[in-house]
Chain A
Amino acid sequence: MIPISFQVNGETVEREVDPRTLLVHFIRDDLDLTGTHVGCDTGNCGACTILVDGEAVKSCMLLAVQADGTSVETVESLAGDGELTRLQQAFSAAHALQCGYCTPGMLMSATYLLRNNPEATEREIRKAIQGNICRCTGYVNIVKAIQEATR
């Protein structure tokens, strides 16, 4: 077991972890932040997308020990004060989610995009969520929602 200390959604977390534990399992099982999802076992689906030090990453391709000393943001941080962000509101308004399973990862990828490129074009939006699979929407309304949030 290895001691780690990092920030999760603004709060300090100090734990001991088994080096083989994936960050996504640590977040879900140990920290009970179950908004971050698992949709594949090969890093393709993006349901586990979070931000580590501001960068969008797939938390199934990081070990929990690697998060030591970083600052992590998960979907639970977006409406931290109880008020949905513009992006979250746009997702609902544009019907960008059906089953909602890919949504947390999709929101984190889109959040990352909008922070770095607030005026993204449709092509840039599609490229930004390429690493996030959605099986319900054909991405039509997801792209539309992110477009709404850029305006």
Chain B
Amino acid sequence: MTETTMEPLVVEREETKSGFVGQSIPRKEDKRLTQGQGVFFDDVKRHGMGYVHFVRSPYAHAKIVSIDVSKALELDGVYGTLTGDEVAIQTDPFFELSTPPGSEIKDYALAVGKTRFQGEPVAAVVAATRELARDAAELVEVEYEPLDVVVDPEAALAEGAPILHEDAGSNVVWSGVFDWGDWEAAKAEADHVVTIDYLHFDRFSSTPLEMSGCLVEYERATGQWTLYCNHQMPGVGAIWMAPAMRVGIDKLRFVTHDIGGGFGNKICLHPYYVACCLLARKLKRPVQWTEWRTDQHMANSHGNERVFRDVEVAVKADGTLLGFSCRAIDDCGAFPRYEPLGAIIWSQVTPGLYRWRNIRVDFTQACTNKSPVGPNRGYSRLQHLWLTERIIDIVAAELELDPVEIRKLNYVKADEMPYETPNGCVYDSGDYARCLDQALELVGWTAMDERRRDAESRGKLLGVGIGSTLDSGTNNFGQSTLINPELQFSGNNEVATVKLDIFGELVVTLGTVPQGQGHETTASQVVADILGVTPDDVHVRPGHDSFWNSHAGFSGTYASQFAVTGLGAVQGAAEKLAWEIKRVAAGVFGAEPDDIELAEGQARLAANPEAAIPFMGIGAIVNANNAILPMDVRDVTLNVRHVYVPPFQLPDKERKFGNLTLTYATQIHVCVLEIDRETGAYEIVDWAVVDDCGKRIHPQIVEGQVHGAWAHGVGAATTETFPYDEDGNLLTANFYDYHVPHALDMPPLKTGHIESPSPFTPLGTKGMGEGGGGAIHAVCAAIQDALRPVGKPVVYDSHNPYHRVWELMTRPEDSRKLVTVESR
């Protein structure tokens, strides 16, 4: 077995710099987390609290005829219940982002009148213990009248399909055509037009190990709710919840501490949280809800499933790609919630990594009787990037082109950066070809033929696949206006505060809501360098408390942006504080602020380091001894706030054109796998990934994100899937059937990196972490490569369990039918 390579084999541009930024210092979070002292929401208890258990619909689509909670209420230890009828009276539907018909959809905390997916909560019960709550939930009698079910998005759009939302009158949430360049001209100019009838990006989710939940306290005196929870974007949660609950946004206090993974799956928790808030108010006691694994799989949020139809690709004889067109049908499940943002978010990476200029996508999003979707690591871009990577490999296979050469020929070049895409996005920096070369070298590209022969001698088919992706980070929320011109969102922002306390302690609060990304550590590195202290001297408050932590409209941890927005805010705040400290010291020494340097926890005269005031002294002077300060320094508070606002413009709504994200990190994967000729079972035997996310604040954390994104991709490509039967039963509602790769499933990993600093961000960093699904693309490509000798089947699905591989290899003609080449 190849030894796992932990350190990058090739390190480009090694920079020696004093300071903590760029160093993999020990994480601040680790001390508590390795001792089991992390505080996750389910660890929080309150006197007299009741446990919530949701009664969930076993039907994917049914009319609710009646709900009878009387037997549940008779059980000893039951505190009360909540039903959809109460919810419909006490709250308004959550606002919808879409234009009609999607905007007409009514989404409440509990099902009102009918249920639209299996696992949808129809009632809630609160009891003294978790077990009793479940006992009581079983006693709630719900009479359903089953309705016809539709689980396929294309079937949902067909004439006569069962309609999920009568108010919308259609299963269409949103549709629109994206048309950039001149597709018809490109097609006319092409030497080959490759048509792919059908591609399917599968449904899965990152299934964070910690389930969703909250503990809610209601204070009657002030009408205020406190939610100890694990919402990863509470600001947005509040924007959904407060209007629906008919209260001001300040009535909702969100407190998070440690969160056991989010990956986007903890953004759409508002229906559950509203139900818990109503229960806490109704029952006059704290209530606690912990989702169970089966619940999470059935009814939390899945990643978007997407079908691509009639994909046409215009190619020149030498392999130059001119453009493509397709229809995309996105399946958002029973309720849009965060959607239809996914209908635009993909266009952050419209051309993928390639230079084609003529792209036309006819996009429709449909509702089906399945779990609602929500943002999921790589949200909406990985589906589209998978499409572009599939196109490249299918085109290469059909035209007998080398998958490496066709990529290099068509990749956006390093010297073209910053590069404006056909839809106005600006790729800030990067060198894709160099990343690819490095990845190929790591995996031993030149020895691959020998390895193929060796595999063959063991009854195996060896395949190599490339997955090249972009991780677009720092959203311009103006993109929402491209789906709904009425929406009043644009730009982005993030907040941090840094203060120097009375005894010299440096305290940082973040607007973000970390779930494992090490924000406490990286923020302390940035602050330490600016203030001349060590990260140990900087206390970054763990978690997020919306009453403590200053935050802005887009605060949260999502969409690969902390290294830009979060640390941009931290940097700004630390610089402001540095200036205040210098002014205080200058005031004391009768010098100018520019004469002061900050080092070793002191403010001192640069010309005479002996003249120094420790930070403790500065803190004491401003907070407790400020009469000694000159009048012009008395505005100093040593408690500063900075809002980082990226330089965005409003996009052009007509042309759907504009810069939608600030940074573009790159990940290039190369997967090597072996398929058992007799069974279709396969094993991933080697893997290399090269990452470029600009300046790296904490290389180890960056690598960790690369590892995680890789693992999610491998899972999605191989054993993680959320399939439904025709009745709308989810078939993988637990970790038995939804197989998450474990340590034996994951091959050794070789990693490398280059650094192309972003010219657009304060620290030269780029957002990263989502990874763009690179591993999915690489596995698909490797399977297709391995199967070339057995009839050259076409890998048409993002998820390829053994049985699908077996079908591909035994009936290659079935998938070959999907592709035609018209050569002129």
Contact pick for A34, options B40, B700, B734, CB 8 Å: B40
Chain A residues with CB under 8 Å of B260's CB are 37, 39, 99-102
A130 within 8 A of B: yes
Whole-angstrom distance between the Cβ of A86 and the nearest chain B Cβ = 11
Among residues of B, the one whose C-beta sits closest to the C-beta of A90 is B34
Chain A residues with CB under 8 Å of B756's CB are none
A84 within 8 A of B: yes
Chain B residues with CB under 8 Å of A103's CB are 33-34, 36
Whole-angstrom distance between the Cβ of B242 and the nearest chain A Cβ = 28
Q: With A88-B35, A99-B261, A101-B209 as given contacts, are A126 and B743 in contact (CB-CB < 8 Å)?
A: yes
Across the interface, do A136 and B33 meet the contact criterion of CB distance under 8 Å? no
Which of B624-632, B666-674, B705-713 forms contacts with chain A?
B705-713
Within 8 A of A (CB), among B349-378: none
| Assembly CA distance A54 to B151 (angstroms) | 48
The range of chain A's interface size is 35 or more
Q: With A41-B734, A42-B736 as given contacts, are A135 and B263 in contact (CB-CB < 8 Å)?
A: yes
Across the interface, do A36 and B516 meet the contact criterion of CB distance under 8 Å? no
The range of chain B's interface size is 35 or more
Across the interface, do A41 and B209 meet the contact criterion of CB distance under 8 Å? no
Whole-angstrom distance between the Cβ of B750 and the nearest chain A Cβ = 10
B742 within 8 A of A: yes
Contact pick for B711, options A38, A127, A137, CB 8 Å: A137
Across the interface, do B735 and A42 meet the contact criterion of CB distance under 8 Å? yes
Contact pick for A45, options B4, B42, B209, CB 8 Å: B209
Whole-angstrom distance between the Cβ of A125 and the nearest chain B Cβ = 8
Chain A residues with CB under 8 Å of B34's CB are 78-79, 84, 88, 91-92, 97, 100, 103, 107
B30 within 8 A of A: yes
* Majority SS at the chain A contact face: loop
Contact pick for A74, options B36, B39, B261, B700, CB 8 Å: B36
Chain A residues with CB under 8 Å of B707's CB are 137-138, 140-141
Contact pick for A38, options B42, B518, B740, CB 8 Å: B42
A-B contacts counted at CB < 8 A amount to 189
Within 8 A of B (CB), among A117-143: 122-123, 125-127, 129-143
Whole-angstrom distance between the Cβ of B728 and the nearest chain A Cβ = 21
Per-residue interface assignment for chain B, residues 155 to 198, with 1 indicating a CB less than 8 Å from any chain A CB and 0 otherwise: 00000000000000000000000000000000000000000000
The contact sample of 24 A-B pairs, CB cut-off 8 A, is A39-B293, A40-B735, A41-B294, A45-B209, A79-B34, A88-B34, A92-B34, A97-B30, A99-B258, A99-B515, A100-B29, A101-B38, A101-B210, A103-B33, A126-B743, A130-B742, A130-B743, A132-B742, A135-B263, A136-B261, A136-B516, A137-B708, A137-B711, A138-B749
Report, nearest first, the 8 A-B pairs whose CB atoms are least far apart.
A35-B36, A101-B260, A100-B33, A99-B516, A138-B711, A98-B516, A44-B735, A75-B36
Residues in A lying within 8 Å of B, measured CB to CB: 18, 20-21, 25, 28-29, 32-42, 44-45, 47, 74-76, 78-79, 84, 88, 91-93, 95, 97-104, 107, 122-123, 125-127, 129-144
Residues in B lying within 8 Å of A, measured CB to CB: 1, 3-4, 6, 24, 26-27, 29-40, 42-43, 45, 130-131, 206-211, 258-263, 290, 292-294, 515-518, 700-701, 703-704, 707-708, 710-712, 714, 734-736, 740, 742-744, 746, 749
